[in-house]
Amino acid sequence: MRRYLIITVILAMIAMAAVFSCCSSDPEGPVASVFIEDGSYPSDAGETVRYVNTLNNVTAVDVPVGIGKSSLLRLGETEGIRFESILMRFDFDSIGNYADLTVDSVYLDLPVTIVQDTLFHLKVTFNELLEDFSDEDTITAIPSFDPDPVLGANGETVRDINIERVRFSIDEAMVQGWIDGGIPWQYGIAVNWAEEPDSSGLIEMYSENYGSDPPVLKVIFTDESSAVFPVVEDYVVTSFSGDGLDCVGGVAMRLLFEFGLEDLPEDAMIQYSALVLHTDGGKGLGATGGDILLGLTSDFIFYLYTPDSPDIYDPGFLEGTGVAANLFLATMSAEVRIPLVGFTLDLHAGKRENTGLVLQSNQENSRFQRASFYDMAAGDSLRPYIEVVYTLPADFSGE
């Protein structure tokens, strides 16, 4: 009799050791069942399950939002963001004060502050604009302009901007016509690419919005007096040429994530959920050299929301209820895990319509940034997915 009792106690101790061993092997919580990677087998009451949904669809959406006023003007291309033209309008209100003077020379000074690569140079033309622009608007295309470039002092039409050359002559006869009563550039000029650049690179200069040292047109007269006509409004026409899964600020582009949670058990008690992405750091842009000189960081600041409408052509797509906001380094390849807090709970409980999730740069109308993610074609560990950890209620029925 005593022997059977000892055996029973030993068996009980073994069973308890097995349970505690299982608990300690799971770093995410005191459960006696290892998380299921895909939730494919029917779990038992009381078990904790890791459910992964690799999303139904992810769509990159161009948004009619962009940068108006900015401290920097840019020309060139970096990480697929193309700065194709600078628009400038000058203050010529004082030009009547110089009547009867004779023009000796004219220069356009561009306050270049940094060139991404010291060897990079860009061929451009100066073209008179034929219609107005405003840096309060989002301009997606260069306004109409005179196709014949503004001439230099020696009749040149194509100019080469680089780290050492930022001052360009303008035809004296044209400006003399202004002094004698002609109409100076009514709408301003466009500084346009003369041809596709040989390589990617970026030239950055101070804008009128920087507060000092704007681009200026300087006229020197034969009596050695001079006149300076500063830029009073400027704008950069920008586009994005990427074709991957990109979230871009300044142009701008947002990402719509569509998914379903139909496979979750009706009585699942959700403990945690997240949208999980993986950045391709080689394609990312956190800050340009000019941004860094202005004291800005390379952090990509994002905002995640559920839109009022899942239709990308509906104005309701551009706004909705905030879900999360944070930052990450877009130039480093890493996992970006965005907790969904109560959003998934509301969806599962039927308290909210599932219109998807939208990721945007939270600085899309103030800074140029790019975050590039691995898309649905990537391997299981890299492609975007929704992760949900849930527990099934315990069963006290004895069944």
Q: Is the pLDDT of residue 388 over 50?
A: yes
- Judging by DSSP bridges, how do beta strands 103-109 and 167-169 pair with one another? antiparallel
Is the pLDDT higher at 379 or at 42? Answer: 379
Is the pLDDT higher at 12 or at 219? Answer: 219
The tens digit of pLDDT for each residue in 40-95 reads: 445 566 678 888 888 889 999 999 888 988 999 999 999 999 999 999 999 999 99
Reading phi first (left if > 0) and then psi (alpha if -120 to 50, else beta), residue 207 is in beta
The tens digit of pLDDT for each residue in 144-164 reads: 999 999 999 999 999 999 887
pTM, rounded to two decimals: 0.82
Is the pLDDT higher at 54 or at 349? Answer: 349
Q: Give percent of the chain above pLDDT 70.
A: 87
What pLDDT is recorded for position 397? 62
Sign of CA dihedral 281, 285, 288, 294: negative
Q: Is 289 exposed, middle or buried (0-12, 13-18, 19+ CB in 10 A)?
A: middle
What pLDDT is recorded for position 117? 78
Residue 331 near residue 322 (C-beta atoms within 8 A): no
